[in-house]
Amino acid sequence: MRTVEWTPAGVRVIDQRVLPGTETYHTYATYEEVAEAIRTMVVRGAPAIGVAAAFGIALGVQASVAAGEDLPAAFERICQTLAATRPTAVNLFWAIERMRRRFEHLRAEKTPEAQIAEALLAEAQAIHAEDIATCRQIGRHGAELIPDGATVLTHCNAGALATAGYGTALGVIRTAVEQGKRITVYADETRPFLQGARLTTWELMQDGIPVTLICDNMAGHFMKLGRIDCVVVGADRIAANGDTANKIGTYMVAVLAQRHRIPFYVAAPVSTLDLTLETGDGIPIEDRAAQEVTHIASVPVAPAGVAVANPAFDVTPHDLITGIITERGVAYPPFTVSLRRLAAGT
């Protein structure tokens, strides 16, 4: 599945707002359009956001060079515009900083501007290709933890749609199935944006993987009945101690999993680690529009004018997490030690 990709006409993305009813693709020719697509969740999922931002920077630099603008000033404007779109997903800032380092290196070498534009596009394309390879590695490490015949609960969408094309949490499930394991999935609907209901179920059905959709408030019921063997979710930012920000409702699932002695795994690339934060208390939590809660598919389901709280993420404390699956292996408690080792590649 091509969630986001570069084309001669611009950055092409699948519109995740209208799935599963309509499979629509948009092509964006400017970095401002890419930024708006990230902001409005046309493209979503931390790794996919990072890839889209890298392509957006490449687009912006191409246009700046063609227009004869002051390139350093334009580059900074492009980066700031993209950085302002989604505050929680650290992959966004990781991708921007990687592109910035490449830009500064090229400038230091006095590379001609046209070649800088070409090199930044190549860097963005490398980020895209690396994300797919990374997800497959996450899948290989994570599949070892999933027993044959297991039923896996997942929350939100951490699949191909949330990445460049394979998935983190769903990558673990996909790999287990490719290895011949008989896996079934329970997918939380994930209110208010319904990523589980709309996206996760759609992906799994396309792959022929058995999936059962449940409401968010049904997870504890099925755990109590013994229907769930493990939980695998994605992440948008992971602090140095293992505290993990993911889609709102993940914390509730983790608490329920601990109560029922069910393993709770987080699957994410090393680029999702934010070791500058000692704990999850420092993770910025995005607040989104009230209409996402008061409406479903543009149909109002609440009284007009009602007060609404709509945090897009919550933070799951590290002591509720069994292990964090990355492309470099699985981190186990104490995460303050294991995550730094993985980040360092040791």
- Residues serving a catalytic function are 236
Give 189: exposed, middle or buried? Use CB within 10 Å, 0-12, 13-18, 19+.
buried
Backbone angles phi, psi at 193, to 5 degrees: -90, -5
Rama region for 268: left / alpha / beta (φ>0; ψ in -120 to 50; rest): beta
| Bridge partner residues of 247 (DSSP) | 313
Burial (CB < 10 A; 0-12, 13-18, 19+), residue 346, is exposed
For the record, the structure tokens of 41 come out as 């969740």
Residues 6+ apart with CB under 8 A from 300: 294
Residue with tokens 């392509």: 55
Task: Calculate the alpha carbon distances from 111 to 29, 61, 65, 89, 343 in Å.
Answer: 25, 14, 13, 32, 31
